[in-house]
Structure 1
Amino acid sequence: MGEKNTEANTEATESAGLRGELKQRHMRLIALGGVIGAGLFVGSGVVIEDAGPAAIISFMLAGGLVILVMRMLGEMAVARPSVGSFYAYARLALGNWGGFTIGWLYWYFWVNVVALEAVAGASQLHVWLPGIPLWVISLCLMVILTAVNMFSVKSFGEFEYWFSSIKVAAITVFLVLGLVFVLGMWPGAHADVSNLTAHQGFAPHGIGPVLAAVIPAVGFFTGAEIAALAASESSEPRRNVAKATNSVVLRVLLFYVGSIFLVIAIVPWNKPDVADGPYVAALQEIGIPSAGTLMRVLVLVAVLSSLNAGLYSASRIVFALTRNGDAPRGLTKLSKRGVPRRAILLATTLGYVSVIIAYVSPDAVFSFIVHSYGAVALFVYLLVALSQLRLRRRLEREAPESLQLRMWWYPYLSWFTVAAMTVVIVTMAVLPSTRMDFAASAITLVVVLAAYGVRAYRRRGRGGPAAEAPAGPPADAPGTAVAETAATGTGATAVSAPEGPRS
């Protein structure tokens, strides 16, 4: 039975034109390292500064939301492995508008990440290469990782494997050193966690900042879903998604909550160094030599990993969008190695433009770009949750045997996730510190919805399919017709619902 599933999954990948070249070790490290970004090592200091020791609670709440969303995504991905992952599920569950919206929002998010990480990586390298202009370093990083992604999906997997290996090894070493220090087993140390309450209490600024800190904390977890997106290019997508989904709980609790707990236990939260670099401050407190240099190298690796993953994610979601006419058909063309090079170039072209803008107009245009994707990940996660609620009912009715991985306590926990994500988004709109991010992100959402409206209008004008045709049943459902889509030129399969009575 397992062999049959593997063969079917491989055939599904090949039918889309993509190649299942990602191995188990690639997928394992992509899943492990996906949540470890530069935000953990640098940005978490801002959360600690705002919430105090109670930042542990902020990360627990944010991590809990991401765990629930990943479980919902995992349920859909195991039931129906698909190129484009959540784009395909939103289209099935919510209709054409849902797929179009979530696909382009996710693409926009990663295109911005590519530009921002290129600038951040250049800033790290500029310390060692002060004679080279920042914009030159940024463009060089973009060119190198573009070449990696253009070559083959296997090259992406290899780079991400080693990037993630370094990140996981580093955070594991920190966890071991921190635990040894806190337990008093380090030379000159004694068991002590008094820093959790000794400086104005556990929540020195009250509960408000603790809840507000959930917003940036959720952003630090973005990337956990890449394993589901990459699964379609592995030999066993169902198995890989199930493993990634089941391990996300451990990754969130161990890497984020565990390491933040140790940082706060080791060094006073209100020490000035913590806001700038909490892990450097903790390592210096332990007495690790050259802690700043070591962390700079680690941040650079995390930045390059995010840049690599961003190019991959943006290109694959656009490739999925082309299969239903939600993106130009020309982007569907694949190289001989099964790589959507045009889709990669689209992402990098806008990335190059953003990098140039970062140095030409840092306070105007680039400032808007930075703010305009702040809530986009939240919009995407909310649409994923809504898709699972609707698709689950359909799967239970038409293909219950496909539900090998189920959302906990459905539908109550699913509705709770939707409500919690909505509260976070509304809070972001209300708080002065995040209001600009929400407003700019809302403009992005409106632009995408307007683009869908224009697309739907033009299709109706050409006598094309209705803009809001009901989404067909899952591909695994009995009676589903699978038709060859010749228009894409890739042999991609398209799911179509059985014909019913016409109105």
Structure 2
Amino acid sequence: MNTQPTMTKEGGPTDDNGGTSQSLGAHGSHGAPGQDGLKAGLKNRHLSMIAIGGVIGAGLFVGSGAGIAAAGPAILLSYALVGVMVVFVMRMLGEMAAARPSSGSFSAYADQALGRWAGFTIGWLYWFFWVVVLAVEATAGAKILEGWIPAVPQWGWALIVMVVLTATNLASVASYGEFEFWFAGIKVVAIGAFVVIGLLAVFGVLPGSDNPGAGLAHLTDSGGFFPMGTGAVLTGVLMVVFSFMGSEIVTLAAGESADPQRAVTKATNSVIWRIAVFYLGSIFVVLTLLRWDDKAILEKGSYVAALDSIGIPHAGQIMNVIVLTAVLSCLNSGLYTASRMAFSLGQRGDAPRAFARVNKRGVPQAAILSSVVFGFVAVFFNYKWPDTVFAFLLNSSGAVALFVWLVICVTQLRMRGMILREQPEKLVVKMWLFPYLTWATIAMITFVIGYMVFDGGDNRQQVVLSLGVAALVLVIGLVKDRVQKRSAQPEIPAQKS
């Protein structure tokens, strides 16, 4: 029995029943299963909140203090530069996803536009990235929960969190969507309230505030806007770039909605204000409430220090609740994303065929459980060998975000022509100033990767190890592709003498 997908005349792989796995608009309405078996169980409100919450990771709450300490107020430019890059990448991805909704998103598009090797490589790298993220976030959430209820050990909390969210994802895609709706909702409300209350305190109009209301003075009153030099902006870019990973999740989730094209279009159009408000807005509030070199920013965390300066009681515990919500949201989405990428790889014959099977609830059970198993193994490594084995996993997945964005850009250069030739009416979302902005974004990402190499230290290690893992996956993909092509060639009968 042939376990590899056959090809339709349009070039898309087909499933065991002859349905086109990557067909346009594959999903029926009202939760009916599409040709790829996944059920369209995500509602518009789910996708809207997934799109908004996707750009708000725990890294924004936890890691922003280090960026502020490294670049001062100029960290705003670092966030702005990365934000612009992400907006462009999301616009390109939105163009392809609106035309060809797919559970494999950019991996499926790379497969179609660049070749099987590209889809295989970037798909497995992305899966690897999120499996490692599962371990990071499970550990972070367990630390917070252990602080509240120390009777349960940290590993126990990590196990509980992983089991609960696994059950959620196994139940149905609607369960994932509902959990993510509330998780993301809490994050959005929290940051929105932080920005509004913070701005009132900044300008001295918040009743009962302990903050003197210095206006914009803190942006320049401690060594100027560039206290660490203009080069610190690039250092800041390296520190904040990975907190933006997750923006692309909505393009995978859109494949399980009744109207994928509308969902992708809406999410793509709103990415600018989401980044402006949640990232630039909240960091701006921190920098105007406190001097950038205030020791509390590193000791307590930027958001807790800002809330303390206003005089909000129990700021630390409030932020712990919000960070825990962000962690659970990231875990929930990470498991969903890893499983759907594994599902898509299975459909295309680039992963075990079992990954492409769905149960009666329209859920890819094998893909979810396999991702969870590797997640649990990574959690074990984090507890057993945090400074060796897990540090290697973490560093070797560190630059994957940049690789994914780079592949999206290169894929879009080829995919635009394919869409125009085959289905021009599907080109409802267009990349601005094509192809010039696409090439400019490629140059920006390449520059960041190169700067990481020459910056040295952990950044160089992340790029080198990530490139090593990428090369290994690429070689496996090329060998696998060559073997398949050879086995598919008909044997030429020997001529009789």
Provide the TM-score with structure 2 as the length reference: 0.90
Tell me if 1:393 matches 2:413. no
1:256 pairs, out of 279, 293, 297, with 279
Q: Which residue of 1 aligns with 2:113?
A: 93
Give the 5 Å matches for 1:240-389.
Answer: 240-276=263-299, 277-389=301-413
Going from structure 1 to structure 2, the CA distance change for 1:264 and 1:328 (only over 3 Å counts) comes to: same
- Counterpart in the other structure of 1:485: none
Runs (5+) with no aligned partner, structure 1: 466-503
Match of 1:10 among 19, 28, 39: 28
Residue by residue, what CA displacement relative to the aligned partner does 1:139-182 show, whole Å, maximum 9, x if unpaired?
11111111110111010001000000100000010011011111
Distance 2:422 2:50 in 1: 32
- In structure 2, the residue matched to 1:62 is 82
- In the alignment, the residues of structure 2 paired with residue 117 and residue 250 of structure 1 have an alpha-carbon distance, to the nearest angstrom, of 26
* TM-aligned CA deviation for residue 462 of structure 1: 2.2
- Bigger drift between 247-256 and 77-86 goes to 77-86
Aligned equivalents of 1:391, 1:397: Cα separation in 2: 10
Letter in 2 for 1:84: G
1:47–1:216 Cα contact (<8 Å) kept: yes
Q: 2:464 is matched with which residue: 439, 459, 464?
A: 439
Deviation at 1:430, TM superposition (A): 1.4
Instruction: Give aligned pairs, total.
Output: 461
Whether the 8 Å CA contact 2:54–2:246 is kept in 1: the answer is: yes
Q: Which amino acid in structure 2 is aligned with residue 462 of structure 1?
A: S
SS at match of 1:200: coil
CA drift of 1:464 comes to: 5.8
1:261-310 deviation line (CA, Å, top 9, x unaligned): 11001011111221241000000001100000000010000000000000
Partners of 2:378 and 2:348 lie apart in 1 by 28
Question: Which of the numbers 54, 69, 82 marks the counterpart of 1:49?
Answer: 69
Deviations 1:46-105 (A, max 9, x none): 111111110000000011100000000001111122231111111111111111111111
Instruction: Give the Cα–Cα distance (whole angstroms) in 2 for the partners of residues 44 and 342 of structure 1.
Output: 37
The 1-side partners of 2:396 and 2:169 are apart by 26
> Residue 161 of structure 1 corresponds to which residue in structure 2?
181
**Partner letter of residue 138 of structure 2?**
A
**1:195 partner SS:** helix
Between the aligned partners of 1:190 and 1:322, the Cα distance in structure 2 is: 57
The one-letter code of the counterpart of 2:58 is A
d(CA) in 2 for partners of 1:464, 1:137: 53
Is the contact made by 1:45 and 1:274 (CA closer than 8 Å) also made in structure 2? yes
**CA separation of 1:224 and 1:459: change in aligned 2, threshold 3 A:** same
Give me the whole-angstrom Cα distance separating, in 1, the residues matched to 2:485 and 2:110: 22
Does the Cα contact within 8 Å between 2:289 and 2:306 map onto a contact in 1? yes
Gaps of 5+ in 2: 1-22, 491-497
2:50 touches 2:184 (CA, 8 Å); kept in 1? yes
CA contact 2:90–2:247 (8 Å) conserved in 1: yes
Residues 387-436 of structure 1: per-residue CA shift (max 9 Å, x gap): 00111122233332221110011110010011111111111111123111
What SS is found at the alignment partner of 1:10?
coil
After superposition, the C-alpha distances for 1:440-471 in whole angstroms (9 at most, x for unaligned) are 21122112112212312332342369xxxxxx
- Give the Cα separation in 2 of the matches to 1:353 and 1:108: 12
Structure 1 residue 75 corresponds to structure 2 residue 95: yes
The answer as to whether partners of 1:124 and 1:296 remain within 8 angstroms in 2 is: yes
Residue number in structure 1 paired with 2:4: none
Structure 2 partner of 1:213: 236
Q: Report how far residue 129 of structure 1 moved.
A: 2.0
Question: How well do the aligned residues superpose, as a CA RMSD in angstroms?
Answer: 1.7
> Corresponding residue for 1:144?
164
Q: Is the 8 A contact 1:13 1:83 kept in 2?
A: no
Kindly indicate whether the alpha-carbon contact (under 8 Å) linking 1:182 and 1:192 is maintained by their aligned counterparts in 2.
Answer: yes
Give the CA deviation at 1:9. Answer: 4.6
- Once the two structures are aligned, what percentage of the paired residues are identical? 51
Taking structure 1 as reference, are residues 431 and 400 closer, same or farther at Cα in structure 2, changes over 3 Å only? same
Relative to structure 1, is the Cα distance of residues 337 and 9 closer, same or farther in structure 2, using a 3 angstrom cutoff?
closer
Which secondary structure state, in structure 1, belongs to the residue aligned with residue 123 of structure 2?
A: helix
